[in-house]
Structure 1
């Protein structure tokens, strides 16, 4: 069911000219918010990722961080990049694959550039993903400048919808339940806007690395 749903959603988004939505769960989507977002994506130019013609603001809300304390998603320093991904630690395939690929792309960058990228995981599963659980999980991927963020379901759902990420509350919490959500990784620059996003599982690690290098070089995201 999950693979069929992913195929149908990617096909639907493809009709609109983008591949910005996938799923990591088993329930069918009814919101369509992330599919609608595809109308905001323009030609990617020199980038492999999708360049957004209507950039997204930073996700709203205050979260508990695996790094300690409470925080919101913050814009990076000038010239740097913050990557934001909505996912969860009990995901059986798409989430760990996405984060592993981001980590692989990051590790291939020069050390000076690695320090200019941060990675924020906003959980879509606040019922199981405590800050300690996310800290341990992220530690598997060798992303030193990363943090896991958790908050109330309402905060997570609202912030995701505002940045085009479909997040669905499970209807059944029994067993090893899965959470359906969009898989796009949003790239935020110092103006507090996401001008680009990546569906990482649909591109190669070298392609993602090249995009990260290009953003850090100061090249326009157009």
Structure 2
């Protein structure tokens, strides 16, 4: 009788430990600074112009993974740091997906960022997989909002104005659907810029979650 009771207790303990280990492994497999949407979000069509003067619409998203973020070429810190980090991480991240991985820099300052300026800015990072683009605000506002990002226009008349904008990076799948968001760490006194090491760690975890859905 006591032997049977011992077996029951040991089995129950093993079950509890197994559940705890499973939950711990699931927690360890969760991305720390990325949000994966429960369902892919379809994007409505849009019309932007890239650094080469060519049309960028929803069809340009098909058949590739896209990391997209908003900014402007006169941005003093967040934009160049983010673009440099993404451009540097792109070759490694691209090995984790079957389709090409592109980086879209969406300028929300069309007043100053014409195609020539965008081309000079993007070429500085010497990464062929980075594409700069912009449009009028009638196209930018709804497109940026679809991506779960934001920006705010400045009312100043000064020529060196700043533009408030999101620092997160949206992930779009090869079907042109928004599937995840990579967020910068928010620490007092530090710029909200993507942590590239955390991005490298979170990216495969995000893909695993997308494949499991």
1:137 maps to which residue? 121
1:89 is paired with a residue of what secondary structure? Answer: coil
1:27 maps to which residue? none
The answer to whether the 8 A contact 1:81-1:189 is kept is yes
Shift of 1:109: 4.6
Moved more, 146-155 or 106-115: 106-115
The answer to whether the 8 A contact 1:47-1:211 is kept is yes
State the TM-score, normalizing by the size of structure 1: 0.68
The runs of 5 or more residues in structure 2 that have no matched partner are: 1-26, 185-191
The answer to whether the 8 A contact 1:106-1:114 is kept is no
2:52 is paired with a residue of what secondary structure? Answer: coil
1:206 maps to which residue? 197
Flag the structure with larger Rg: 2
1:75 corresponds to which of 56, 61, 67: 61
Q: Deviation digits for residues 12-50 of structure 1, max 9, x if unmatched? A: xxxxxxxxxxxxxxxxxxxxxxxxxxxxxxx99532311
The answer to whether the 8 A contact 1:215-1:221 is kept is no
Relative to total residues, which structure has the larger helix share, 1 or 2?
2
| Aligned counterparts of 2:48 and 2:119: Cα–Cα separation in 1 | 14
Q: 1:111 to 1:158 in 2, by over 3 A?
A: closer
1:220 is paired with a residue of what secondary structure? Answer: helix
Q: When the two structures are aligned, how many residues end up with a matched partner? A: 178
2:106 maps to which residue? 122
| Aligned counterparts of 1:70 and 1:194: Cα–Cα separation in 2 | 20
Aligned-residue Cα RMSD (Å) equals: 3.0
